Structure 1
Amino acid sequence: MKVKRGSTTFLKGIICLIGIAVLTVCIVLLPEAARRDAIERPGDYSLYPLLVCAYGICMAFSVALYHVFKLLAYIEKNNAFSALSFQSLQVIKKCAFTVIFFILLAIVYLRVHAQFTGDDAAGPIALGLMGVLATSIIAAMVDALQKPLKNVPDIKSKDE
C-alpha cells in the first residue's frame, strides 16, 4: 500500500494545529475562566468540578492526538498493518471512552447543581450529549479499523 507523503503530512499538520488549540485552551482559557469566576463569586467553588472534567478531557484528547500522529507515521512507513498501529488504535479507543466518562461526569454534576440552584442546565447538558454521541462515533470507527488488524498473524500472537 503506497501512501502519498503529502496527504499524511497535511493530516499531521492539522493534528499539530488541533494540539496547539487544545494547549491554548488548557494554558490560557481555562485558568482565565477560573480567575474571572473567582473574582465575580468569591467563596463559590462550583466551577472547579467542571474545570477538572475539562482538564481530563483535554489530557485524554491530547494523548489521542499523539497516538493519531504516531499512527500516521506508521502509515507513512508502510507499517499500517502492524502491532504498533494496533496498539495506537487501542489507546485512541481508551481515550475516547475516557472523554465520554468525563463528559458524563460533567453532565451529572450540571444536573445536580441545577437541582440545588434552580438554574436551567438543558443547553449545556444537550451539548454534552452531542459530545458523547460524536465521541462514541469515533470510538466505533476506531473499533472498525481494529477489526482487520486482529487478523494479522503477528498481532494475533501478541494479543493472545
Structure 2
Amino acid sequence: MNVKRGSTTFLKVIIFLVGIAVLAVCIFLLPEAARRDVIERPGDYSLYPLLVCAYGICITFSVALHQVFKLLTYIEKNNAFSELSLQSLKVIRKCAFIVIFFILLAIVYLRVLAQFTGDDAAGPISLGLMGILATSVVVAFVTVLQIPIKNVLDSQPKNN
C-alpha cells in the first residue's frame, strides 16, 4: 500500500468515526436532553429551538463529512483536480456557512432568552462564537483549496 492510499484510508476511518459520533449525538444525547428537560420543567419549551439548531448543525455536518469522504475517494483515484472535487468543496463550503447560520440562530435565541429569564448566557454565547471561528477557518481552508482546482480546470482545454 502506498503512502497516499494509506493516508486517505486513515482519514476515511477518522471521518467514519466522527460520523458515528455525530449520529450517536443525534440518536442518544439530544433526545435524552429533551426528555430530562420535559421532566424537570413541564410546559417549558425553551429548549426546543436549541434542539432544532443542534439537529440542523448535526445534519449539515454529516452532509459535509460525506462530501469530505467523497473528496478523499477522488484523491485516491487521482481525480483531485476534477470538476467532482470542486463540486465537493463547494458543498462543504455551503455546509460550513449553514452551520454558522445555525450557530448564530442559537446565539440570538440564547441572548433573547437571557433577557427574559435573567440568566447569564455569556458562557454558551462565547462557545458559539468559538464554533463560528472554527467553522470560518474551515471556510477559508476550503476556499484556498478551490483556487488551484479552478485554475487547473480553467487551463485545461474544453472537450465539446
Percent identity between the two aligned chains: 80
Segments of structure 2 that go 5 or more residues without pairing to the other structure are: none
Whole-Å Cα distance in 2 between the matches of residues 155 and 69 of structure 1? 27
The letter for the 1-side match of 2:51 is L
Structure 1 runs of 4+ aligned residues shifted over 2 Å read 152-158
Q: Is the 8 A contact 2:82 2:153 kept in 1?
A: no
- Residue 132 (structure 1) shift: 0.1
Segments of structure 1 that go 5 or more residues without pairing to the other structure are: none
What per-residue deviation string (whole Å, max 9, x for no partner) do you get for residues 112-148 of structure 1?
0000000000000000000000000000000000011
TM-score, normalised via structure 2 length: 0.94
1:13 corresponds to: 13
Q: Where does 1:1-160 land on structure 2 (aligned, <5 Å)?
A: 4-153=4-153
Q: Is the 8 A contact 1:26 1:55 kept in 2?
A: yes
Whole-Å Cα distance in 1 between the matches of residues 60 and 156 of structure 2? 27
Whole-Å Cα distance in 2 between the matches of residues 24 and 155 of structure 1? 44
Q: What do you get for the CA RMSD once the two structures are aligned?
A: 1.7
Q: Across the two proteins, how many residue pairs are aligned to each other?
A: 157
Whole-Å Cα distance in 1 between the matches of residues 153 and 92 of structure 2? 22
